[in-house]
């Protein structure tokens, strides 16, 4: 298996971020400290892209014996919510990472940020601008033309101080004024053209309530939060590269501690949207059942789908980090969970679309307990026994009345093996008044118990089955990609690419009696069907619901081989 993996898929032993850290450690830039942070904005649930960032930040710190903070970048009261805060805490923990006592909020620093703003105004490096948001936008200039200086740019320091204080006290309406940094309206970097630091927003914040009616902009707050927490390596995605000069400018002008920002390429994945705004839209417009819908790329969706923290961490390791944008094939993520499940998931039999088979020469009322291996990949997993009787369910797909050539499953006159049990030969087909097959009749060979016959006869097909009187009912949900195109954003409205067949709900499935007492979080391999887990939300003692995590076919192995 492992020799089918491409170089890109092997865990990176080193990467450009570690090289930067090694260099800092060599020169003593941060006295050998490595202190990272994961800074989500609590405006949505975390997705697999965030998982990459989490694994990177916590993983690097762990490797260097350092620390990682969890910090909520809660500077936008309108979009943020404690529901999101709680989900983020749960998801990072579930992934297996620990921030110990270092959970912070940007809002913890609102007071300090305000003091720093005053410091910049006093130094003549910031001013209150009384232009409207529209005016500010219109005078920003373009990539090829410089912006226009605000008529308020040179208002006296005292006046800006006074206005800024009144902004804070709530004396002005939303949008009437902002505080801007005084940098350079002609800078080729648009972020340096007197960026807005504070805006007036009479909005209630999920933590600070109505204490504030001015809120810091992300660009003003972010670098300072990192500085206050004495972060050494502020790892973020590439789109912030062009903001770095601004963060450095703020810290330089304030004369405070400066972390090193390092940018890496964000995760993009086929068939997947990675924007919280668009994921929120999927939820709000009921294209999915919620943030934790098993088709969602959110951590909570993946968890509900049956992904394990181990498989997601392995995925993050395999994709590595790079400076250049790329798109990861979703089959690599599926490969990671399949690999994990292959080692750990108990094998059981489940019939998704049942068809009844009656074994005419098997004694009525007789039950035999057949020995079955729990996991051939795990010698410690042991065996279990499965009841066998005169009537069993088999998969509807495993029978064809008029089979094509090379159909190795069951058809009239054909012989197959029932896994862990006997050889059976089909003798008759029973139909209802509409011509639908409702039952098949077989005879079994009592000499073939456990899979062989005295005459050495062989059969090509092996079917899974569940004994009718012992079967447990279950609802099983099968999933496909949420989008029907590898790049759902290819069209102006991504919603046209929502796959209408991304979920199929099968009721009346039949599973082995051992599954009667399943619990949330249990997972299995259903022979020939894939990996399944008990649904965390809808499954109960009297109504078992299982989600298919992934099928058995590894399309990544094929891709990896082709690329080699
Ligand atoms: P989105 O674009 O989904 O709204 P975001 O960047 O606005 O994401 P944040 O809550 O600010 O969301 O992200 C927290 C951290 O996760 C940031 O450091 C961000 O760089 C990182 N991150 C977000 N998306 C990805 C991704 N696709 N791949 C890697 N890291 C990501
Ligand atoms: Mg962000």
Catalytic status, residue 449: no
Whole-number Cα distances in Å, 476 to 180, 334, 386, 548: 56, 19, 21, 7
Find where tokens 């804070």 sit.
Answer: 168
Report whether 11 contacts 313 (CB < 8 A).
Answer: no
Res 1: pLDDT: 36
- With a 6 Å cutoff on the Cβ, whether 40 touches ligand 1 is yes
Whole-number Cα distances in Å, 507 to 315, 465, 474: 33, 17, 7
Residue 146 and residue 188: Cα distance in Å, rounded?
8
Residue 417 and residue 400: Cα distance in Å, rounded?
16
Residue 148 and residue 193: Cα distance in Å, rounded?
9
Res 372: pLDDT: 96
CA dihedral 563, 321, 340, 62 (to 10 degrees): 150
Res 6: pLDDT: 47
Res 555: pLDDT: 85
Find where tokens 């232009």 sit.
Answer: 131
Report whether 364 contacts 399 (CB < 8 A).
Answer: no
Identify the helix (H) or strand (E) that includes residue 262.
Answer: strand 260-264
- With a 6 Å cutoff on the Cβ, whether 266 touches ligand 1 is yes
Pocket test for ligand 1, best of 223, 237, 291 (most atoms within 8 A of CB): 237
Sign of the alpha-carbon torsion through 116, 122, 124, 126: positive
- Residues near 369 by beta carbon (within 8 Å), at least 6 away in sequence: 385, 386, 387, 388
Catalytic status, residue 318: no
Return the biggest CA–CA distance within the chain.
104
β-pairing, 354-359 vs 437-445, is parallel
Catalytic residue among 18, 33, 41, 409: 41
For residue 74, report the distance from its CA to the centre of ligand 1, in Å. 14
Beta bridge partners of 223: none
β-pairing, 415-418 vs 423-431, is antiparallel
Write the residue with the smallest CA distance to atom 15 of ligand 1. 40
Closest atom of ligand 1 relative to the 274 alpha carbon: 3
Catalytic residue among 102, 266, 344, 449: 266
CA dihedral 350, 354, 357, 358 (to 10 degrees): 90
- With a 6 Å cutoff on the Cβ, whether 280 touches ligand 1 is no
- With a 6 Å cutoff on the Cβ, whether 42 touches ligand 1 is no
| Total residue length of the chain | 564
- Residues near 155 by beta carbon (within 8 Å), at least 6 away in sequence: 127, 128
Look at residue 180 and give its three-state secondary structure: strand
Residue 312 and residue 18: Cα distance in Å, rounded?
21
Share of the chain above pLDDT 90, in %: 93
Sign of the alpha-carbon torsion through 350, 356, 360, 366: positive
C-alpha 132, offset from chain centre: 40
Catalytic status, residue 41: yes
Res 450: pLDDT: 83
Residue 443 and residue 360: Cα distance in Å, rounded?
6
- With a 6 Å cutoff on the Cβ, whether 236 touches ligand 1 is yes
For residue 550, report the distance from its CA to the centre of ligand 1, in Å. 26
Residue 389 and residue 306: Cα distance in Å, rounded?
32
> Which residues of the chain fall short of a pLDDT of 50?
1-10
What ranges make up the beta strands (E) of 349-396?
Answer: 350-351, 354-359, 368-373, 383-388, 391-395
DSSP annotation of 22 reads H
- With a 6 Å cutoff on the Cβ, whether 71 touches ligand 1 is no
């Amino acid at each position: 298996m492992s020799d089918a993996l491409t170089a890109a898929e092997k865990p990176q032993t080193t990467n450009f971020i570690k090289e930067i850290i090694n260099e800092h450690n060599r020169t003593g830039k941060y006295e050998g400290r490595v202190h990272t942070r994961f800074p989500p904005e609590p405006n949505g649930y975390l997705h697999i892209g965030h998982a990459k960032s989490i694994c990177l930040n916590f993983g690097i710190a762990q490797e260097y014996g350092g620390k990682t903070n969890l910090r909520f970048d809660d500077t936008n009261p309108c979009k943020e919510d404690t529901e999101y805060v709680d989900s983020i805490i749960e998801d990072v923990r579930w992934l297996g990472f620990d921030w110990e006592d270092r959970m912070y909020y940007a809002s913890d620093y609102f007071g300090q940020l305000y003091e720093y703003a005053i410091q910049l105004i006093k130094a003549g490096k910031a001013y209150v601008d009384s232009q409207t948001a529209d005016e500010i936008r219109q005078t920003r200039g373009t990539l090829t033309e410089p912006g226009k200086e605000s008529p308020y740019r040179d208002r006296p320091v005292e006046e800006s101080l006074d206005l800024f204080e009144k902004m804070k006290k709530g004396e002005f309406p939303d949008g009437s004024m902002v505080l801007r940094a005084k940098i350079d309206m002609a800078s080729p970097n648009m972020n340096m053209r007197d960026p807005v630091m504070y805006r007036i927003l009479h909005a209630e914040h999920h933590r600070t309530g109505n204490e504030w009616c001015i809120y810091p902009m992300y660009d003003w707050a972010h670098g300072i939060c990192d500085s206050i927490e004495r972060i050494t390596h502020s790892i973020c995605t590439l789109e912030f590269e062009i903001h770095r000069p601004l963060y450095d400018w703020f810290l330089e002008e304030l004369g405070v501690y400066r972390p090193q920002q390092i940018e890496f390429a964000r995760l993009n994945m086929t068939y997947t949207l990675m924007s919280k705004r668009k994921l929120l839209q999927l939820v709000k417009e009921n294209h999915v059942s919620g943030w934790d819908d098993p088709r969602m790329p959110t951590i909570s969706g993946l968890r509900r789908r049956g992904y394990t923290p181990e498989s997601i961490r392995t995925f993050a390791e395999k994709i590595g980090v790079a400076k250049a944008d790329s798109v990861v094939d979703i089959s690599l993520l599926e490969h990671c969970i399949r690999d994990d499940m292959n080692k750990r998931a108990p094998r059981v039999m489940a019939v998704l679309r049942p068809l009844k088979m009656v074994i005419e020469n098997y004694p009525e009322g007789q039950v035999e307990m057949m020995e079955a291996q729990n996991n051939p990949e795990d010698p410690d997993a042991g065996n279990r026994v499965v009841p066998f009787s005169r009537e069993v369910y088999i998969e509807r797909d495993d029978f064809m009345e008029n089979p094509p050539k090379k159909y190795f499953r069951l058809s009239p006159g054909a012989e197959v093996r029932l896994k862990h049990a006997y050889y059976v030969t089909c003798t008759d087909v029973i139909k209802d008044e509409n011509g639908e097959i409702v039952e098949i009749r077989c005879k079994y060979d009592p000499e073939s118990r456990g899979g062989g016959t005295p005459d050495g006869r062989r059969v090509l097909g092996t079917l899974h089955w569940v004994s009718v009187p012992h079967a447990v009912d279950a609802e099983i949900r099968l999933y496909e990609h949420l989008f029907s195109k590898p790049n759902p954003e290819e069209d102006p409205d991504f919603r046209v690419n929502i796959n209408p067949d991304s979920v199929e709900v099968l009721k009346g499935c039949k599973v082995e009696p051992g599954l009667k007492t399943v619990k949330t979080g249990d997972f299995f391999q259903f022979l020939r069907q894939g990996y399944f887990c008990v649904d965390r939300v809808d499954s109960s003692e009297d109504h078992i619901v299982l989600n298919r995590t992934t099928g058995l076919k590894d399309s990544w192995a094929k891709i990896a081989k082709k690329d080699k």
